Amino acid sequence: VATPQPSQPSPEPCGWIRAYNEAPEVFNAFAAAEDPDGLATRKLRGLTDFEGKEGLEIGCGTGRFTSELARNFACSKLWACDSAPLMLEWAKGACADLDVEFSLANAMKLPHKTQSVDFVFASWVFAYLPITLLEKCLKECHRVLRPCGEIWALESGDAGQLGAPMDGNIHGLLDIGFEIVASVNTELRFPSETLARETLNFLMESKAPAVQGCSVPHQILILKQSRN
């Protein structure tokens, strides 16, 4: 898998934070459009073996991957947390009929016992943390992981049109021991051009790509780190 070229990580635009705290429906419109054919999830299923394992999702957002993990990965137990109350409520709704234990929690201080889970999953969480917080977060993930446990992450690559403005700190992740195990070329596909423009402008503000039509090319990276 080609490694993205080094670039300066940019802080998450305020629109994302505003969505987490005040407008989860805007984030959810984005999440519903991202990778609509589920290519990344399918790839992840082929790469992982979560069957019979106990897992924790951090930064679960509105729960799109939480429900996938609970439905299709045969885990024996799944916990999920987010630090934004409105996002967490949405995730609980998305998983109402599923066996997931949710908590309102900061990933820097998880309400889980030491060595109590087999894997940690996080999508679009690590690459946007400043390096000191990333290190703190990973230390906490390693604390809750059992020996030989794994951390799996999804992040945006920079080969899609959305990549550059969303460019998280992929190099920071590689520097601290993540490897890119796959990349998936996909797209954001919105129901209409208006919704595409409104959603991306809200979230990405001045960094939103120019939208022509309902879809935007997008690349998703699947990363992994193992605990010794």
Ligand X SMILES: C[S@@+](CC[C@H](N)C(=O)[O-])C[C@H]1O[C@@H](n2cnc3c(N)ncnc32)[C@H](O)[C@@H]1O
| DSSP β-bridge partners for residue 220 | 156, 184
| Minimum distance, C-beta of residue 61 to ligand X, in the bound complex (Å) | 2
Nearer to ligand X, 106 or 161 (CB): 106
Q: In the bound complex, which residue of the shown chain has the CB atom lying closest to ligand X?
A: 61
- Least distance to ligand X from the beta carbon of 23, Å? 12
**Cβ closer to ligand X: 149 or 168?**
168
Rounded distance between C-alpha atoms, residue 51 and residue 76, angstroms: 7
- Of 132 and 228, the one with the shorter C-beta distance to ligand X is 132
Closest distance between ligand X and the C-beta of residue 11, in Å?
13
Considering only CA atoms, which of 68, 49, 47, 48 is closest in space to residue 57?
68
Residues in contact with 219: Cβ distance below 8 Å, sequence separation at least 6, in sequence order: 156, 157, 158, 159, 160, 163, 183, 184, 185, 186
Task: HSE, CB side, 13 Å, CA atoms: give it for residue 211.
Answer: 24
Tell me which residue has tokens 């949405």: 90
Choose between 4 and 61: whose C-beta lies nearer to ligand X. 61
The total number of residues written for the chain in this structure: 228
Site residues, ligand X (CB under 6 A): 20, 31, 58-61, 64-65, 81-84, 87, 106-108, 123-125
Work out how close the CB of 40 gets to ligand X at its nearest, in angstroms, rounded to a whole number: 10
H/E element holding 81?
strand 77-82
| Least distance to ligand X, CB of residue 75, Å | 16
Cα distance between residue 115 and residue 147, in whole Å: 7
106 or 116: CB nearest ligand X = 106
